[in-house]
């Protein structure tokens, strides 16, 4: 069986990852299952996250990658809506992702947006604090080998989705 494609949309909060996921799921030409940091984080429970956020988040992120791999192994295309951060609890995060996906078709797309625009988006959203994107940017893994980059400050989510499909399919 042919393995499904895995596309990891990597970027800080409010960069536009989830909007691109939604735009990709609106398309008629390709279908993706979605795994996302936010969805998997909800599996842990607030009490445990309050006790030791990075320990539990790190564990569930690795489980998320194995879930995406399973879908791919079953021939399904998968979108990962996440952020590759480097923290002791999950380090080396990027290399762990690559190891888990070593036998699967993985493309990592940098979802870029200038931090000043992310700050504005965080305030508008109301469920993020203003500097959350800045903090994530500082934690983001370095030297990631991206397949491509989309800039959500220049293009709409639908335009970014079009670019991703055109480039990767």
Q: What is the mean pLDDT of each run of 10 residues along the chain (169 residues)?
A: 97 97 96 92 90 92 97 98 93 96 98 97 91 94 96 98 97
Spatial separation of the C-alpha atoms in residues 119 and 56, rounded to whole Å: 26
Nearest to 49 by CA among 100, 101, 89: 89
**Helices marked H in 75-129 — which ranges?**
93-100, 115-125
| Per-residue model confidence (pLDDT) at position 37 | 87
| CA distances from residue 28 to 31, 52, 162 in whole angstroms, order as listed | 7, 41, 12
Please report the pLDDT score of residue 63 as a whole number. Answer: 96
Please report, in angstroms and rounded to a whole number, the separation of the first and last CA atoms in the chain.
Answer: 18
Number of helices (H) and strands (E) in the chain: give both, helices first.
7, 5
Q: Quick check: helix, strand or coil at residue 62?
A: helix
- What are the residues whose beta carbons fall under 8 Å from the beta carbon of 148, sequence distance 6 or more? 107, 109, 110, 163, 164, 167, 168
């Amino acid at each position: 069986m042919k393995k499904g494609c895995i596309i990891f949309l990597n970027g800080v909060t409010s960069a536009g990852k989830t909007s691109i996921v939604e735009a990709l799921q609106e398309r008629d030409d390709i279908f993706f299952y979605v795994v996302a940091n936010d969805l998997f984080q909800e599996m842990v429970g607030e009490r445990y996250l309050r006790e030791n956020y990075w320990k539990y988040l790190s564990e569930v992120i690795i489980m998320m990658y194995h879930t995406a791999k399973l879908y791919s192994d079953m021939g399904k295309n998968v979108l990962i809506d996440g952020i590759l951060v480097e923290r002791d609890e999950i380090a080396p995060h990027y290399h762990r992702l690559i190891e888990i996906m070593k036998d699967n078709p993985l493309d990592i797309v940098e979802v870029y947006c200038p931090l000043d625009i992310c700050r504005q988006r965080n305030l508008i959203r109301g469920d993020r604090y203003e500097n959350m994107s800045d903090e994530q940017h500082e934690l983001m893994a370095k030297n990631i080998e991206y397949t491509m980059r989309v800039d959500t400050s220049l293009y709409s989510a639908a335009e970014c989705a079009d670019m991703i499909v055109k480039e990767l399919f």
